[in-house]
Amino acid sequence: MTGWRWALALGLPLALAAPAAAQQAADAVAPEMATGSSERTVTRASRQMVAAANPLAAEAGLDVLRRGGSAADALVAVQTVLGLVEPQSSGLGGGGFLVWYDAESGEITTFDGRETAPAAATPALFLDEKGEPLAFFDAVIGGRSVGTPGVVRLMETVHARYGRLDWAELFQPAIARAEEGFAVSPRLHRLIANDRGKLDTQPAARAYFYDAAGEPLAEGARLANPDYAATLRAIAEGGADAFYTGEIAGKIVAAVRDHPTNPGLLSLEDLAAYEVKERPAVCAPYRGYEVCGMGPPSSGGLTVGQILGMVSHFDLATLGPDDPESWRIIGDATRLAFADRGLYMADSDFVSMPQGLLDQAYLADRARLLRRPDALEQKAVTAGTPPWDKAELRLPGLEPERRSTSHFVIVDAEGNIASMTASIENGFGSRQMAAGFLLNNQLTDFSFLPESDGQAVANRVEAGKRPRSSMAPTIILEEGRPAFALGSPGGSNIIPYVANTIIALIDWRMDMQQAISLAHLTNRFGTYDLEAGTPAEELADELEAMGYTVRVTDLTSGLHGVAFTPRGLEGGADPRREGVAVGD
């Protein structure tokens, strides 16, 4: 099968039923099932574009751009509508990372709106009375897993720097939609139904997401959210302070601390003290491009950069996407990068990290491990020794990162770019609702085990610390000019989703939609996951012959991206979800 046919393969209905059980057994999460898809072609525009996970959100952002708004203005409209129509993935109760390209200066910067651990949190937060790690959902459901939300302060910070339109008017699309209601999408209905036994055990969530008979809201049912509208109106009038102090903050803290079986530690003081941090972008070279993303507390930019740095020593363009040798190189590079990620990467405000994780000589040395005909033995997949520079050695830990997140890209008429990934972590987060929105469970992105044999784990819980993330919002430059912007949800699979899409764009010369639609193959920890119902399954025998354990499973990314071409903007939206790219 040619690479072209591979790129369009997800235009066909997906066969999903059989592998769903395998994914549940493997990951023990509420599954983010694919919706099936129709054939998609790249979206073209000449001036401005929004690619987002829901058509209502994308259109709200484009309307802001049409009224003369900047990408920062449109970001507020897109995120607030997503929080209404895609509440299981992101929203006011979560956080996010933004990579921003400023057209006037030509500079890229990043904004860290990641959640923080409460001041009262200790490394033992996710240990039971015997000192053993809690089961994942025992930790998630309730207040224990809720970190200080960051997305509202992030929106305000970016708008204050780059916005042009009045702050209050940017909330009107989401307010109107919340008051009028929206039709429950097929995907939202399915996710509600799949979360029985979790979401419906929490009174506020049950009242909102289930009908009077206790059944999941039907596809097409009209769902209004007056509480969300009231919250948005308060933020529109009073700024982010209306969220982080006062009545809304009180409702958040009450939902967290008053949970009857699993209370949390979040306080009014934690909310009032929250700050967004502007951080330098992490940039790595790849075949003449500069790939820029989010640094710690995200592992996304560093790990994507490491994968690309290792595979740059191989001729993937000649091999192509149909050759299992390409996937052996990519898969084992991903495994090696994840070994470094596990040992070294965490919130760098708390843990001193090696400065040489993207050192080209170091990555060339790591790439030598890939010069072999078969899979790396598991014992050989260990962290390397990058240039050190007074780093603090800690241990890898147990952090069962999950997959419910959303990514969008906005390009305005002036050429400013917002590439933002936002999340409440697991599907429906902590399952706790306050003031019309779901609260995150991002604290479960910390390691449940804080130490081993008396040595500290890098990603352990600490007061005020931000949990390690895999979110990888990315902007890629060529000769200093924007070439691509993209990102995805998907838990720790975000990293290979983004890295593989970049390889498809640069090495295999696919357009943005083809690259996004390309069948997924990911290998983070030794097992090679092949996307069910796609041509990826055809490589199973050859990968097994190379020595890999292979699993056919659902790999439901939510990639959205924009390419900058001589013909103008070209946008792509993931056919595995409900998103679109729209523009003028």
Q: What residues are labeled active site?
A: 405
Please tell me the distance from the alpha carbon of residue 453 to that of residue 355, in angstroms, as a whole number.
Answer: 26
Please tell me the distance from the alpha carbon of residue 289 to that of residue 581, in angstroms, as a whole number.
Answer: 24
Measure the N-to-C terminal CA separation of the chain; round to a whole number of Å: 35
Distances (CA, A) of 39 to 3, 14, 48, 59: 16, 12, 24, 21
Distances (CA, A) of 475 to 115, 154, 333: 23, 19, 21
Please tell me the distance from the alpha carbon of residue 52 to that of residue 183, in angstroms, as a whole number.
Answer: 18
Neighbours of 197 (CB within 10 A): 10
Please tell me the distance from the alpha carbon of residue 583 to that of residue 49, in angstroms, as a whole number.
Answer: 4
Distances (CA, A) of 218 to 103, 174, 190, 223: 44, 22, 9, 10
Distances (CA, A) of 420 to 151, 280, 424, 515, 568: 11, 15, 14, 19, 21
Please tell me the distance from the alpha carbon of residue 28 to that of residue 49, in angstroms, as a whole number.
Answer: 37
Q: CB under 8 Å to 48, separation ≥6 — which residues?
A: 62, 65, 66, 411, 412, 413, 569, 583, 584
The three-state DSSP-derived secondary structure of 54-90 is: CHHHHHHHHHHHHCCCCHHHHHHHHHHHHHHHCCCCC
Task: Read off φ and ψ for residue 529, nearest 5 degrees.
Answer: -90, 125
Residue 244 is encoded by which pair of tokens?
Answer: 């982080």
Distances (CA, A) of 505 to 45, 476, 500: 19, 11, 9
Contact 243, 235 (CB under 8 A): yes
SS3 of residue 303 by DSSP: helix
Neighbours of 581 (CB within 10 A): 28
